[in-house]
A and B are shown apart, each in its own frame.
Chain A
C-alpha cells in the first residue's frame, strides 16, 4: 500500500520528494526497471504539474488544456506518481502499477487520466508535440505542448525531423525539455553517441535554448516561467540532471536503468529522501 501524500502543491521540493518516494515504491512493488530516469526527471515534473501546466484534474480531456508528452515513456512511473499527486486519479492506483488489469502500464499509457499520449517507442514524442502545437497555432488556441525527451532518444532521427519542422514553422507553443542525465541504455551518452555540442544543434534547427540545472528549483521555475523563451521560436530546455538523483547509491549509476530496488534498498532510499533537506 502506497500511502496518500498530503504535500501542498505549492512546495515543488516537497512534491518532488513525494514523487520520488512513490516512484521507488512502485518500481519495487512491480519489480520494474527505469527508476534512475524517473528520479532524474522528478524535479521538473513537480514544477510542471505544480502550476506551470494549465490542466484541471477534474477535466482531464479539456480540449484547451496544455498537453504533456512524456516521450521517454520508460519513466512512466514518475509521471503516474506526479499525476496522482496532482489529483488526476487516486493514489491507491499506484499500488497496482504494472499489474494486469491496471491502466498503469509499464510505459506511458493514454488510457490513464491526465496522460496525453502513449509512448515507449522512442523518438515519437516531439512529433506528437509538433502536431499539437501546429493545431493550436493554426486554430489560434493558447494551449501549449510540452515534450519531455531523454538524452538517449536524441539518437532517433525522427526527433530531428520534428525539430526541423518546429523550427521552420516557428511553433512557439512547443516546449521540449531534455532530461540530460548523461546515461542511456548501455552506458554513457558521450561514449555511445556523443550529443555535444547539443545546444548548438538545437540552435541550428532554429530553437531557443535554455540551459539549466534540472535539480535546481529556482532555475527550473525560472525557465518554465518564461515561455516561449523567444517569441516565434520553439523552446528547448536542456536540463542537466543526475540519473538516480536523490538516492545516493543510485546516482550516476547505469545499473539503476534496469535494476529494481529490493526491500532493504527501498527502505534505505526512502530514509535518505526523508532525511534530505
Chain B
C-alpha cells in the first residue's frame, strides 16, 4: 500500500490484526471476557484469543444470527461478550438479533466486524462492509467505532471492553499507515482527535481515510490552504463540539469515509453542522453503488476514495 508514503507515514499493522492481538493481550485484564466468532477467526483475528483462552472462545459456525443472540445470552449471564465476523455478515445477517438482543436491552456485547470498506480488494462486493456504519448507527445507544490504524485500534479495543454497553467496531483487511506513532492511549470514545492543525477548512475522516486526508492536507498546504484533520474514530456518539468548532473556526468541512455516503460519517457530521453551525460541506465516500473485485488501491481510486478526490472536495467546499 502506497497510501501515506508521500507524507512519510510508515506502513503498520492492519486494524484487524491489531484488534486480534490486543484482545488476546487483554484476556487477563477482563476475566469475564468471552469471544464468539462466526467461523472466520483466522480473518477477524479472534483466533489469537481463542488459542490463548480456548475455554473462553466459541466458534458459532457460519451462523451469525445465532451467534449474536448467543453473545447476548452470554452477556445476560454476566460476561463481557465479543461477537465477531466480517462486517457485512455480522451487521447485515444478524441485524434483527442486534436490534432485539443487543440494542434494546443495552447488552454488554461488543460486535467487531472485519473486512470493512472496499479496500478488502480481490474478494469482491459480497465480502465488503460498506453499510455497517449506517446499520449500527441506527441502533439506539450503540457506540460505533472506526479506528484508523493499528495503534489506535489497540487503544480503542481496551476502551470498548471498559465501556459497559453495546459497541460496534469495524476493522479492515489491509495493512495501513501508522497515524499514532507516538501512541494512542489518550484517545477517548466520543472525542475526535485533531491529527493536523489548520484554519482554512477541516477534513473529518475515519478509518483508512484519515491517512488519505492527511495526504490531501499536505497537498493543499502546498497551494496555501491549511486544513485541520480530525480522526473521528467514534462515529457514534459523534463529537458535536469538535464539529461545531471546526465549522466556526475553519468555515468548511469535508468528510471522508470508506463507506456508503448514506447513513455513515458524512451524514452524522452533516446533521450536527446543519443543526448547530451551518457551513459549506463536501463528502467523500462510496456513492450509491456496490464495488467490484480488484487491487485495494485500484478500487479506492475507481470509487473516488483518493487524495485527489479529498483535495477536490475541499476546494468545492471552499468555493
Residues of A within 8 A of B (CB): 63, 67, 110, 116-121, 123-124, 127-136, 138-139, 143, 145, 157-158, 161-162, 164-165
CA distance A134 to B83 in the complex (A): 14
- Contact (Cβ within 8 A) B65 A131: no
Q: Is A129 a contact partner of B97 (Cβ separation < 8 A)?
A: no
Decide if B101 touches A117 in the complex (CB within 8 Å). Answer: yes
Q: Does B69 contact A (CB under 8 A)?
A: yes
Chain A positions within 8 Å of B208 at CB level? none
Q: From residue B81, how far is it (CB to closest CB) to chain A in Å?
A: 8
Instruction: Please tell me if the beta carbons of B70 and A124 are within 8 angstroms of each other in the complex.
Output: no
Is the CB–CB distance between B69 and A138 below 8 Å?
A: no
- Interface-located stretch among B54-62, B258-266, B296-304: B54-62
Contact of B104 among A118, A130, A157, A165 (CB under 8 A): A118
> Is there an interface contact between A135 and B66, defined as CB atoms closer than 8 Å?
no
User: With A67-B76, A164-B61, A165-B61 known to touch, is A128 a contact of B104 (CB < 8 Å)?
Assistant: no
**Taking A135-B79, A138-B34 as contacts, is the C-beta distance between A127 and B73 under 8 angstroms?**
yes
Interface of A, helix, strand, loop or mixed by DSSP: helix
B29 interface residue, CB < 8 Å from A?
no
> Cβ of B196 < 8 Å from any Cβ of A?
no
- Which residues of A have CB within 8 Å of B289? none
Mark interface residues in B35-76 (1 if CB within 8 Å of A CB, else 0).
000000000000000000001101011010110111111111
Closest residue of B by beta carbon distance from A127: B69
Beyond the given A127-B97, A161-B61, A165-B63, please list 15 additional residue pairs across the A-B interface where CB-CB is below 8 A.
A118-B104, A119-B100, A121-B99, A124-B101, A128-B72, A128-B76, A129-B73, A130-B73, A131-B69, A131-B75, A135-B73, A135-B79, A158-B66, A161-B65, A165-B70
* Other-chain residue from B76, B96, B99 in contact with A131 (beta carbon distance below 8 A): B76
B78 touches A158 (CB 8 A): no
Complex-state Cα separation, A165 to B67, whole angstroms: 9
How many residues in B have their beta carbons less than 8 Å from beta carbons of A? Answer: 29
Q: Which residue of A lies closest to B105 (CB)?
A: A110
Residues of chain A within 8 A (CB-CB) of B66 are: 127, 130, 158, 161-162, 165
CA of A127 to CA of B77 in the docked complex: distance in angstroms?
Answer: 13
Would you mind naming 20 contact pairs between A and B with Cβ atoms under 8 Å apart? A63-B77, A63-B78, A119-B100, A121-B100, A123-B65, A124-B96, A124-B101, A127-B69, A127-B72, A130-B66, A131-B70, A132-B73, A133-B73, A135-B34, A138-B55, A158-B69, A162-B66, A162-B69, A164-B61, A165-B60
B77 proximity list for chain A (CB < 8 A): 63, 131-132, 135-136, 139, 143
Give CA–CA (A119, B78) in the complex, Å.
20
Q: How far is the CA of A238 from the CA of B56 in the complex (A)?
A: 32
Minimum CB–CB distance from B241 to chain A (whole Å) comes to: 32
Bound-complex Cα distance A78 to B239 (A): 44
- Chain A residue nearest to B96 (CB atoms) is A121
Q: Tell me whether B100 and A116 are in contact (CB under 8 A).
A: no
Tell me the complex Cα distance, A153–B51, Å.
36
Interface string of B89-103 (1 = CB under 8 A from A): 000000011011100
Are A134 and B96 in contact, CB atoms less than 8 angstroms apart?
Answer: no
Q: Which residue of A lies closest to B64 (CB)?
A: A161
Please indicate the chain B residues that have their CB under 8 angstroms from the CB of A157 in the complex.
65
Q: Closest 9 interchain pairs by CB?
A: A131-B73, A127-B69, A135-B77, A161-B66, A131-B70, A161-B63, A158-B65, A132-B73, A128-B73
Task: Looking at the assembled complex, report how far the CB atom of A172 sits from the nearest CB atom of chain B, in whole angstroms.
Answer: 16
Q: Closest Cβ of chain B: how far from A137's Cβ, in Å?
A: 10
CB closest residue in chain B, given A174: B73
Given the complex of chains A and B, what is the CA–CA distance between A74 and B81 in angstroms?
A: 28
Closest-by-CB residue of B relative to A128 is: B73
Q: Which residues of A contact B97 (CB under 8 A)?
A: 124, 127, 158
Q: Cα distance A54–B58 when bound, in Å?
A: 27
Query: With A and B bound together, what is the CA distance between A158 and B104 in angstroms?
Result: 19
Residues of the B chain whose Cβ atoms lie less than 8 Å from the Cβ of A127 = 65-66, 68-70, 72-73, 97, 101
Task: With CB as the reference atom, state the residue of chain A lying closest to B94.
Answer: A158
Residues of A within 8 A of B104 (CB): 110, 118
Q: Report the minimum CB–CB distance from B39 to chain A (whole Å).
A: 12
* A119 proximity list for chain B (CB < 8 A): 100
Residue from the list B69, B78, B101 in contact with A135, Cβ < 8 A: B78
Indicate if the CB atoms of A118 and B74 lie closer than 8 Å.
no
Cβ–Cβ < 8 Å partners of B56 in chain A? 138
A131→B71 CA distance, assembly (Å): 6
Say yes or no: B74 contacts A120, CB within 8 Å.
no
> Are B74 and A131 in touch, CB under 8 angstroms?
yes
Residues on the B chain within 8 Å of A132, using CB: 73-74, 76-77
Residues of B within 8 A of A110 (CB): 104-105
* Distance of B279 from chain A, by nearest CB (Å): 40
- For A162, the chain B residues whose CB sits under 8 A away are 66, 69-70
Q: Which one of A123, A143, A164, A165 has the highest number of Cβ atoms from chain B below 10 Å of its Cβ?
A: A165
Q: Which residue of B lies closest to A165 (CB)?
A: B66
Of all chain B residues, the one with the shortest Cβ separation from A162 is B66
Q: Which residues of B have CB within 8 Å of A121?
A: 96, 99-100
In the complex, the chain B residue whose C-beta lies closest to that of A67 is B76
Complex Cα distance A136/B96, Å?
25
